[in-house]
Amino acid sequence: MKTLRLCTHGSVKKGRGMTLLEVVLALAVFSIAALALVGTLNKIAETAVESQIILEIEQSLESLIDEYGKMPQMRNLEEDIKPGADGVVYRVKIEQIKDMKNKEGQFLNDMFKIQAFAKWNDGSGVIELEAESLRYAGAFLPK
């Protein structure tokens, strides 16, 4: 089946495919869509890397709390930990809680709050994370 087209000057021509303008417009639309896709994939990759870094730092904070919470002699303490190769600065703070009561209204002696802080610069600014836990001073004493 042959397709005929009417030209502007009135003569009949056979269809010869797409014009150069149509090809250029199709390439422009495709390029815009491809750039949007590449930008989105790049942002997804950056977010995945940031999430992995934050997860590792959160695990380090939990480890610090466990490590300091198992000290045989709990005491008030504030200690900075030198930054490692990743550039994260950690700080641990332990303080005794004086007026903590249980459900029956009895004072709980030897309760401590352990806080661990992390601070680092990710290139866009300083980020800080904090974790805390309550521990009984005698929990890890030998029986």
Amino acid symbol at 59: Q
**Token representation of residue 73:** 């002699």
For residue 62, pLDDT beyond 80: yes
* Angle made by CA atoms 135, 126, 114, in degrees to the nearest 5: 5
Q: Which of 44-48, 60-64, 139-143 has the lowest mean pLDDT?
A: 139-143
Distance CA 61, CA 49 (A): 19
| Mean pLDDT (whole number) for 7-19 | 64
**Strand pairing category for 77-81 and 89-97:** antiparallel
Distance CA 88, CA 16 (A): 65
Distance CA 73, CA 4 (A): 96
pTM of the full predicted structure?
0.69
**Token representation of residue 21:** 């303008």
| Mean pLDDT (whole number) for 5-28 | 75
At residue 17, the pLDDT reads: 75
